[in-house]
């Protein structure tokens, strides 16, 4: 079965469904990034404080406490499950595009690795390996790049005539 480039021959209804799905998915994804910005200020120290607390900082504007076992396991579990499904579906759609195959494969597999590194990294950082906040930040940036690139490519391919 040839999947590469098949998006161009999809019926208008399927292309429309994919476009609407991508718009709604993007709203959810970027709203999540707004939340991350609000809670961490997109800084390594903010990531650390969000999960490990800041109760020793007397000058803190907002007092944060270390996440409990239940909170951290719920966060890691929910994000790994939901984001892996999101990126799996996005990768299936991306596989039908006619872009360079090596770049396509990167965009299909990288976000799944980043999901594991980001949320596994949050757990590892929470256990006390503080330098993992940098892994969390880098993998989160790569995941966001991959999401943005994949959605823009799919949109452009949906508009392209067969």
pLDDT, tens digit (0-9, with 9 covering 90-100), for 96-141: 999 999 999 999 999 999 999 999 999 999 999 999 999 999 999 9
Say whether pTM exceeds 0.85: yes
Q: Is residue 17 part of a domain?
A: yes
Q: Is residue 112 part of a domain?
A: yes
Angle formed at CA 122 by CA 121 and CA 127, multiple of 5 degrees: 95
Q: Is residue 56 part of a domain?
A: no
Q: Is residue 24 part of a domain?
A: yes
Q: Is residue 21 part of a domain?
A: yes
Q: Is residue 50 part of a domain?
A: no
Ramachandran sector of residue 68 (left: φ over 0; alpha: ψ -120 to 50; beta: rest): beta
* Domain with 26 in it: 9-40+69-159
């Amino acid at each position: 079965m040839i999947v590469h480039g098949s998006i161009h021959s999809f019926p208008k209804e399927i292309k429309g469904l994919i476009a609407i799905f991508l718009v709604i998915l993007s709203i959810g994804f970027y709203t999540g990034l707004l939340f991350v910005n609000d809670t961490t200020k997109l800084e390594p120290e903010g990531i650390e404080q969000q999960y490990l607390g800041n109760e020793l900082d007397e000058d803190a504007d907002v007092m944060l406490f270390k996440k409990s076992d239940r909170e951290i396991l719920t966060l890691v579990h929910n994000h790994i499950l939901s984001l892996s499904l999101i990126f799996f579906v996005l990768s299936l759609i991306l596989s039908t595009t006619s872009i360079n195959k090596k770049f396509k494969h990167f965009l299909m597999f990288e976000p799944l690795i980043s999901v594991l590194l980001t949320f596994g990294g949050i757990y590892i950082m929470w256990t006390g390996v503080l330098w993992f906040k940098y892994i969390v930040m880098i993998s989160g940036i790569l995941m966001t790049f991959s999401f943005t690139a994949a959605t823009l490519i799919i949109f452009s391919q949906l508009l392209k005539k067969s």
